[in-house]
Structure 1
Amino acid sequence: MVHLFDSASQPQLSPQALPDVVIELGQLFVDAGHELSLVGGPVRDLFLGRVSPDLDFTTDADPDATIAVIKRWADHYWEIGRDFGTIGLRKDQHIIEVTTYRAEAYDPESRKPAVAFGRSLEDDLFRRDFTMNAMALRLPSLELVDPYGGIRDLHAGVLRTPGEPSASFSDDPLRMMRAARFASQLQVEVADEVAQAMEDMAGRIEIISAERVRDELIKLVNGKDPRAGVDLLVDTGLADHVLPEVAALRLEIDEHHRHKDVYQHSLTVLEQACGLETGDDGPVPGPDFVLRFAALMHDVGKPSTRRFEPSGAVSFRHHDMVGSKLTAKRMKKLRFDNDTIKAVSRLVELHMRFYGYGDAGWTDSAVRRYVTDAGPLLERLHRLTRSDVTTRNKRKAERLAFAYDDLEERIAALREQEELDAVRPDLDGQQIMALLGVRPGPLVGRAYKFLLDQRLEHGPLDQAAAEAELLDWWQAQPESQQSAEPDREG
């Protein structure tokens, strides 16, 4: 055991790196005759020079004893995790969890652990996921407890488990997803034996709830190196269970190399999209999960739409539409919220819309439709489209970049003239009903859509011109003829 602030052989950390509540809470437990240690991610992050948003503690006190220690000190406490030995509390701005030493085992077919309280800090650390998370600071002395080489592995940038990886992943298969997440977040290499166990046990992830898998996936995609995390999922076979559409992107390369490696292309697009995110004051602050996940999934429609043409070319017709549906279906299975599903799948659907602009040229109407169809996703669509250029042909890349620069300039000019962000028909629903003498219903919706199409096609009209357009349209509708027929009864 090493005292953090006396040993020249270990990294030196300043006590000021820890909030005052850490030392205060440690003293309270010691005064009550118990042990308390800061544990896991917060300790790891101290050595990485990061401030962890979490404060997780472990103790020999059972939940009743923990409550007795903290109830007068905490601003508020709760017992939601009591069955798992965890008491949550709030002190000032800090959210804290204190968990009794645990020794837990999982039923091979169950998603939930069978919890048994442990007897020592070292045993508690042994049941944790990885060695770099199996370190603790005894409180209030700040003595480092690192029985499984967490500091060694952290400095080496290698992810290992305290015990046998197969035993760890059998206990909690979600740890395999966590390994991929740490590869992305912490930019560490996964030890060979860990990767092998992930490959051997990939199917065990099926017993984990979709929500828990989703949460790990979000953290992976939002990490510093999501390419590394996704690559690990695919290489170990985990992606076959959680993101099979991405695994399927590894299309076999035909002997004539008539198409590029779709999987590696998608990872490059993901990397490039990350590089186009903005700071907090920009239009797409990073990390932006919607943009990143759309970049990863944008070509998932290609495997099912690939065709070898008589000319020798390879086509992927409508892969954008197919990919959008596959993306939405996968995200629903992973229990994403509806807004996120709609945003990501819409970006996948629109990612090919730009192509052809530089060759054929677009009318102002086409530019308006591009902006309107993207809606609030426009800035993300700009970045996704630019990221999708991975060609090594410098001249082609420059031509596409120039064309998109031109499109953005035209959008800016039209937006200034016409307030494109809030394109609406020149008449609203009330005006339509008054002019046509109709009641609310599907007919009003059709009229509204007609006027919106006119607005997109021709730009804004004054009220008189819009009314004239609507009346001309109305004369061609069967409902207008019905309303003009005389009453033959009576």
Structure 2
Amino acid sequence: MRDISDAQLAKLLDKDIFHHISDSADKLGLECYVVGGYVRDLFLERPSNDIDVVVVGSGIQVASELKAMLGKRAHLSVFRNFGTAQVKYKNTEVEFVGARKESYSHDSRKPIVEDGTLEDDQNRRDFTINALAVCLNKDHFGELVDPFGGVDDLWDGIIRTPLDPDVTFSDDPLRMLRCVRFATQLNFFIEDETFEALERNAERIKIISGERIEEELNKIMMTPTPSKGFIELYRCGLLQLILPELVALDVVETKNGRAHKNNFYHTLEVLDNICKHTDNLWLRWAALLHDIGKAKCKRWDPAVGWTFHNHNFVGAKMVPGIFRRLKLPMDSKMKYVQKQVDLHMRPIVIADEEVTDSAVRRLMNDAGDDIDDLMTLCEADITSKNAIRKQHFLDNFRTVREKLKDLKERDYKRLLQPCVDGNEIMEMFNLQPSREVGVLKHTLKDAVLDNKVANEREPLLNLLRDKAKEMGLI
């Protein structure tokens, strides 16, 4: 964060694109301001390529004039239904809109829009830190307009709305998610009155489409510490409506003096851990959902205490429904997350026992190309406060990784599929697709994975005949 005078703002905006916009607006006799995130990020010393320009008058008219001034070097797109236009010039995109005031009906976030002043336009902004405007007209170039103390809020690290937060959030409930997202991205605090309005208006999120919710959640997920965002969503009541399966993990039961860990906060710790090692959005989703099945699988066993047997399998079954509801992609990305959730216990089980070649081969076969990501997830999942136990797992995981590397180098992956396939099995024993064919295929695959038989035709055919004879097929 830095303090910037108007003269310094003018220097920071001393770029061809801003002078061209200035000349275009002055030629048309219209007030013109760069607003929102671009201005905010100047103060925060963050890079920003998104330039939003508000014109007191027709934004489309200024955009068209700018295109005429830049000639073939620029591309103009006009969206008359929304009263906006976009100019692409070199590596820069500039969005133009006319200053406006808005009013809303209770059952929609689509506003009734009227032409307005700069003041009207700043009043409709979501947060004070996004309501900053800097004049681009030549006579006032670089002058900051900050009616709500947005710069002070940047210094104080506060997110708050320009006007009544209840009205702001009720009018457009997506702003509630944006509030949490900005607090997470910038590591800011949500001002008390604004947070209380989040709690009061949380139910309004139900009118927001899954696609818009997904977009904001993904932005939270891609922050350095997404747990901050999920805790804020939980505190204000939004997470209960968006992802109740995660909230269901915030239960700690004690029986006979034995308690299990809080799987909600454990999950968030795993998510933050994984963010230290990867920018892979879908591996981050896998971390968030890796224990999602535990609430359904929790059981009390007098001999061993609390158990969560098969929670990975149950959790994997839950992933498609969660993705579908949140409008997350139902393609290979969902299947990737599902596989990570399903397999995340396997390396832990291996690491807790003797690390055998056979177990590692099976793991590599089942995880395929995602084996390294799976190992990263599992290492992030080690959150034990017992330093000795934690080091034991880390040491064994290191052994697992070494064996994986060794097996890859020896090209075991190529040998994991038996060289006798299902079609040949059916032909040999005159079978149709059936359970028997599956049993015979698994017999061969298990033998190869356990290194009991070389992956060569003659040894496999001999094994196949013996198994078929045992099953009464010959």
Report if TM-score (shorter chain) is over 0.5: yes
Quote the residue 1:289 is aligned against: 281
Whole-Å separation in 2 of the counterparts to 1:28 and 1:448: 73
RMSD: 2.9
Quote the residue 1:333 is aligned against: 325
Map residues 441-460 of structure 1 onto 2, 5 A cutoff: 446=438, 451-458=444-451
Whole-Å separation in 2 of the counterparts to 1:22 and 1:474: 79
1:348 matched to 2:341? The reply is yes
Quote the residue 2:301 is aligned against: 309
Map residues 146-185 of structure 1 onto 2, 5 A cutoff: 146-185=146-185
Q: Cα 1:328–1:14, aligned 2, differ >3 Å: closer, same or farther?
A: farther
Write the letter of the residue equivalent to 2:394.
A
- TM-aligned CA deviation for residue 107 of structure 1: 2.1
Higher mean C-alpha displacement, 209-218 vs 18-27 = 18-27
Q: Cα 1:460–1:120, aligned 2, differ >3 Å: closer, same or farther?
A: farther
Quote the residue 1:84 is aligned against: 82
SS in 2 for 1:108: coil
- TM-aligned CA deviation for residue 117 of structure 1: 3.1
Whole-Å separation in 2 of the counterparts to 1:430 and 1:230: 48
1:412 matched to 2:411? The reply is no
Quote the residue 2:269 is aligned against: 268
Whole-Å separation in 2 of the counterparts to 1:463 and 1:22: 72
Quote the residue 1:486 is aligned against: none
Work out whether residues 186 and 224 of structure 1, in 8 Å CA contact, stay in contact via their aligned partners in 2. no
SS in 1 for 2:86: strand
- TM-aligned CA deviation for residue 357 of structure 1: 2.2
- TM-aligned CA deviation for residue 14 of structure 1: 7.3
1:398 alignment partner, one of 375, 391, 396: 391
Quote the residue 1:105 is aligned against: 103
Whole-Å separation in 2 of the counterparts to 1:222 and 1:264: 18
- TM-aligned CA deviation for residue 374 of structure 1: 1.6
1:142 matched to 2:135? The reply is no
Write the letter of the residue equivalent to 1:263.
F
SS in 2 for 1:83: coil
Higher mean C-alpha displacement, 459-468 vs 366-375 = 459-468
- TM-aligned CA deviation for residue 232 of structure 1: 0.3
Whole-Å separation in 2 of the counterparts to 1:403 and 1:312: 24
Deviations 1:126-182 (A, max 9, x none): 101111011111114121111111100011001010001111001110111111111
1:380 alignment partner, one of 373, 388, 409: 373
Work out whether residues 211 and 334 of structure 1, in 8 Å CA contact, stay in contact via their aligned partners in 2. yes
1:114 matched to 2:111? The reply is yes
- TM-aligned CA deviation for residue 239 of structure 1: 0.3
- TM-aligned CA deviation for residue 319 of structure 1: 1.3
Work out whether residues 415 and 455 of structure 2, in 8 Å CA contact, stay in contact via their aligned partners in 1. no
SS in 1 for 2:279: coil
Higher mean C-alpha displacement, 327-336 vs 55-64 = 55-64
Whole-Å separation in 2 of the counterparts to 1:108 and 1:308: 47
Whole-Å separation in 1 of the counterparts to 2:467 and 2:14: 71
Q: Cα 1:249–1:430, aligned 2, differ >3 Å: closer, same or farther?
A: closer
Write the letter of the residue equivalent to 1:121.
L
- TM-aligned CA deviation for residue 183 of structure 1: 1.8
Gaps of 5+ in 2: none
Q: Cα 1:86–1:476, aligned 2, differ >3 Å: closer, same or farther?
A: farther
Quote the residue 1:249 is aligned against: 249
- TM-aligned CA deviation for residue 71 of structure 1: 3.8
Higher mean C-alpha displacement, 101-110 vs 469-478 = 469-478
Map residues 461-476 of structure 1 onto 2, 5 A cutoff: 461-469=455-463
Quote the residue 1:46 is aligned against: 42
**TM-score normalised to structure 1 length:** 0.86
SS in 1 for 2:291: coil
Whole-Å separation in 1 of the counterparts to 2:391 and 2:44: 40
Aligned pairs, how many? Answer: 462
Higher mean C-alpha displacement, 265-274 vs 252-261 = 252-261
Whole-Å separation in 2 of the counterparts to 1:414 and 1:264: 36
Q: Cα 1:6–1:124, aligned 2, differ >3 Å: closer, same or farther?
A: closer
Work out whether residues 4 and 142 of structure 1, in 8 Å CA contact, stay in contact via their aligned partners in 2. no
SS in 1 for 2:205: helix
- TM-aligned CA deviation for residue 394 of structure 1: 0.9
SS in 2 for 1:344: helix
SS in 2 for 1:78: strand
Write the letter of the residue equivalent to 1:193.
E
SS in 2 for 1:76: strand
Quote the residue 1:282 is aligned against: none
Deviations 1:236-278 (A, max 9, x none): 1100111111111110443735111222211111111112x1x
Write the letter of the residue equivalent to 2:455.
L
Write the letter of the residue equivalent to 1:21.
I
Write the letter of the residue equivalent to 1:173.
P
SS in 2 for 1:88: strand
Write the letter of the residue equivalent to 2:358.
S
Q: Cα 1:88–1:436, aligned 2, differ >3 Å: closer, same or farther?
A: farther
Quote the residue 2:219 is aligned against: 219
Whole-Å separation in 2 of the counterparts to 1:157 and 1:309: 48
Quote the residue 1:23 is aligned against: 19
Whole-Å separation in 2 of the counterparts to 1:329 and 1:315: 24
Q: Cα 1:18–1:157, aligned 2, differ >3 Å: closer, same or farther?
A: farther
Whole-Å separation in 2 of the counterparts to 1:150 and 1:423: 63
Work out whether residues 60 and 85 of structure 2, in 8 Å CA contact, stay in contact via their aligned partners in 1. no
Work out whether residues 433 and 444 of structure 1, in 8 Å CA contact, stay in contact via their aligned partners in 2. no
Quote the residue 1:318 is aligned against: 310
Provide the identity percentage: 33
Q: Cα 1:257–1:469, aligned 2, differ >3 Å: closer, same or farther?
A: closer
Whole-Å separation in 1 of the counterparts to 2:246 and 2:273: 17
Q: Cα 1:201–1:466, aligned 2, differ >3 Å: closer, same or farther?
A: same
1:258 matched to 2:259? The reply is yes
Work out whether residues 86 and 95 of structure 2, in 8 Å CA contact, stay in contact via their aligned partners in 1. yes
Q: Cα 1:390–1:443, aligned 2, differ >3 Å: closer, same or farther?
A: closer
Whole-Å separation in 2 of the counterparts to 1:345 and 1:475: 38
Whole-Å separation in 2 of the counterparts to 1:56 and 1:455: 61
- TM-aligned CA deviation for residue 469 of structure 1: 4.5
Whole-Å separation in 2 of the counterparts to 1:293 and 1:137: 38
Whole-Å separation in 2 of the counterparts to 1:36 and 1:64: 12
Whole-Å separation in 1 of the counterparts to 2:9 and 2:32: 19
Gaps of 5+ in 1: 278-285, 482-490
Q: Cα 1:257–1:148, aligned 2, differ >3 Å: closer, same or farther?
A: farther
Whole-Å separation in 2 of the counterparts to 1:134 and 1:227: 27
